[in-house]
């Protein structure tokens, strides 16, 4: 890849003038207070102040921006609705391309089940528009102001992942030299987005999980689903994690849940806590032992369909839960035992709208997220809990959910350290990196997403070599999202 060069002050000044001429001066910002506001993500763990912020309003604006950035080899970091989890931290002195003004819902096609939206559309706007049509989309545990396109490009883990992992139907992408291409059936003029896989290779997959390094997405066709006649969330308690995994695997293989997720006891206890008050002392105790009267694992099962089908499936959940030593809670029991938790699940899974659990009020949370086979995640859970508990930060929270009908299980563990304790944060980062290496060897687990703090890209061998060749062809000057550090420079 091209070696980084330090941009001369006059070059950035010239580039700024050219950008203002190309897209309009009101879309190019170099005010100090604006640049500072883009310099970090919500975790405040990295601070890189950009040299410019640009706010395109059309695909043509994006083309103009990228051509000029490519001409002067200025790094470009794409953001859709703010910066989250290190995925779009700017390069120092580079350009932030903020897509928030690309916010049009272009089409909602209820016949083929897709909606065409621009990158800056928010979940709040999207879900509201879909609801008017009797439709819904995949909902993550993200705020309503987040972007569906940005979330879906990162392998979502929300409300439909058990069955419908891939939410993208097709993409419109702009390359650094200004080339525009569309994937899927929409690549053919006037055809529309009814088919993800056309007669040629699937380029949407190349852009997905690329973290903005392969091209800039300006719009996407997103899969949508009808709101069914009946919606129901069932809660099932288990005294251990492996039994919960067996239960989830069984009902998933028998096509019962539309979505299911296993919540750790400290997490479902915290869901409705008043985090402005001291937390219950048991949440700071050994997480491997649930308090008396509290289930170790709580499985949330979301079902929808015709009323008769859902009622039958609830009875099936009860039968299968008993087989694995679990207890299906009635609606009355759940409402009495965990009213806020039950209400939150219903808002997320049956009203199809974001809910931000109270525990996020505890602050920023380093997360360790991995994917492994169902049989391996049973042992991985014990091992990960032990590793994280030794870091001395409590409470410890995790959840686990099946992807793609249970072929792989996502395991996410997190907690809330003091963000001012740099020494502890460094220890956590090192521990998480070592955990990935060890989990790969012991449990055949892989990271769910790439982290710029510790790359496992080169471990993929020939895959890394081929993808790097593609990157060089699409972005020879390596201007796109360098801060992800996937394609390290010479």
pLDDT, position 2: 53
Beta-bridge partners for 173: 181, 217
- Report which secondary-structure segment, H or E, holds 173: strand 168-174
Residue 133 — very low, low, confident or very high, per pLDDT cuts 50/70/90? very high
Q: Is the per-residue pLDDT at 354 higher than 80?
A: no
Q: Is residue 167's pLDDT more than 50?
A: yes
273 or 338: which leads in pLDDT: 338
Structure tokens at 194: 């009814």
pLDDT in tens, 96-114: 999 999 999 999 999 999 9
Distances in whole angstroms, Cα of residue 178 to Cα of each of 23, 67, 164, 474, 475? 14, 6, 33, 11, 11
Query: Would you put residue 448 in left (φ > 0), alpha (ψ -120 to 50) or beta?
Result: alpha
CA distances from residue 242 to 67, 295, 374, 408 in whole angstroms, order as listed: 53, 13, 9, 15
pLDDT at 8: 67
Lowest mean pLDDT among 54-63, 76-85, 386-395, 460-469: 76-85
- Which of these ranges, 271-280, 289-298, 423-432, 474-483, has the smallest mean pLDDT? 271-280
Whether pLDDT at 169 is above 80: yes
Flag whether pLDDT at 489 surpasses 80: no
Q: What is the pLDDT of residue 81?
A: 74
Given the structure tokens 């299911």, which residue do they identify? 260
What does the buried/exposed string (b/e) look like for 351-374 if buried means 16 or more CB atoms within 10 Å of the residue's CB?
Answer: ebbbbebbbeebebbbbbbbbbeb
Evaluated on CA atoms 361, 380, 348, 103, the torsion sign reads positive
Taking all residues of the chain, what is their mean pLDDT, rounded to a whole number?
91
pLDDT at 235 over 70: yes
Q: The domain at 230-447 falls in which architecture?
A: 3-Layer(aba) Sandwich (3.40)
User: Residues 6 or more apart from 236 whose CB is under 8 A from it?
Assistant: 244, 247, 298, 299, 301, 317, 321, 326, 327, 328, 329
Q: Which of 9-23, 81-95, 108-122, 289-303 has the lowest mean pLDDT?
A: 81-95
pLDDT score of 277: 85
Residue 150, C-beta contacts closer than 8 angstroms, at least 6 positions apart: 80, 81, 119
Residues paired with residue 369 on neighbouring β-strands, in sequence order: 412
- Please calculate the CA angle 314-357-448 and round it to the nearest 5 degrees: 80
pLDDT for the residue 488: 75
Domain spans of the chain, in order of start: 9-101+474-484, 105-226, 230-447
What size, in residues, is the chain?
A: 490
- Least confident window among 155-164, 317-326, 420-429: 155-164
- What's the pLDDT score for residue 490? 40
User: pLDDT at position 196, please?
Assistant: 94
Which pTM does this prediction carry?
0.92
Q: Is there a cis peptide before residue 31, judged by omega within 30 degrees of 0?
A: no
- Domain 105-226 sits in CATH 1.20.1600.10: no
Identify which has the larger pLDDT, 47 or 190: 190
Q: CA-CA distance, 320 to 312, in Å (whole number)?
A: 13
Average pLDDT (22-41) is: 92
CATH class of 9-101+474-484: alpha beta
């Amino acid at each position: 890849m091209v070696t980084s060069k330090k941009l001369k002050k006059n070059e950035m000044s010239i580039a700024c003038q050219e950008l203002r001429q190309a897209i309009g001066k009101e879309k190019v910002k170099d005010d100090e207070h604006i640049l500072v506001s883009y310099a970090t993500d919500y975790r405040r763990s990295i601070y890189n102040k950009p040299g410019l912020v640009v706010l395109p309003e059309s695909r043509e604006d994006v083309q103009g921006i990228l051509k000029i950035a490519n001409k002067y080899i200025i790094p470009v970091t794409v953001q859709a609705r703010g910066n989250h989890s290190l995925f779009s931290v700017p390069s120092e002195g580079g350009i932030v391309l903020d897509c928030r003004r690309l916010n049009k819902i272009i089409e909602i096609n209820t016949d083929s089940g897709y909606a065409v939206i621009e990158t800056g559309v928010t979940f709040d706007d999207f879900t509201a528009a879909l609801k008017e049509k009797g439709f819904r989309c995949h909902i993550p545990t993200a705020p309503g102001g987040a972007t569906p396109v940005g979330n879906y490009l990162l392998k979502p883990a929300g409300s439909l992942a058990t069955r419908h992992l891939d939410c993208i139907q097709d993409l419109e992408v702009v390359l650094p030299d200004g080339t525009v291409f569309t994937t899927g059936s929409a690549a053919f003029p006037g055809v529309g987005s009814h088919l993800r896989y056309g007669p040629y290779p699937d380029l949407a997959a190349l852009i997905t999980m690329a973290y903005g390094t392969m091209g800039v997405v300006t719009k996407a066709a997103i899969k949508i689903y009808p709101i069914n006649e009946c919606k129901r969330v069932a809660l099932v308690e288990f005294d251990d994690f492996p039994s919960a995994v067996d239960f989830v695997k069984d009902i998933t293989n028998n096509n019962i849940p539309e979505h299911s997720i296993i919540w750790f006891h400290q997490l479902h206890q915290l869901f409705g806590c008043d985090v402005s008050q001291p937390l219950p002392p048991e949440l700071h105790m050994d997480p491997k032992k649930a308090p008396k009267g509290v289930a170790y694992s709580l499985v949330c099962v979301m079902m929808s369909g015709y009323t008769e089908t859902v009622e039958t499936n609830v009875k099936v959940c009860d039968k299968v839960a008993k087989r694995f030593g679990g207890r299906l809670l009635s609606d009355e029991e759940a409402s009495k035992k965990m009213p806020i938790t039950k209400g939150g699940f219903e808002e997320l899974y049956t009203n199809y709208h974001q809910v931000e659990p109270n525990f996020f009020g505890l602050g920023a949370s380093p997360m360790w997220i991995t994917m492994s086979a169902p049989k391996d995640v049973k042992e991985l859970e014990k091992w990960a809990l032990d590793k994280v508990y030794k870091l001395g930060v409590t409470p410890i929270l995790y959840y686990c959910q099946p992807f793609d009908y249970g072929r792989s299980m996502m395991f996410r563990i997190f907690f809330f350290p003091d963000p001012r304790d740099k020494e502890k944060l460094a220890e956590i980062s090192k521990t998480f990196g070592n955990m990935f290496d060890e989990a790969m060897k012991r449990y055949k687990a892989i990271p769910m997403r790439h982290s710029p703090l510790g790359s496992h890209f080169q471990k993929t061998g020939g895959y890394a070599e081929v993808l790097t060749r593609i990157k060089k062809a699409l972005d020879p000057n390596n201007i796109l999202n360098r801060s992800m550090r996937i394609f390290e420079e010479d």
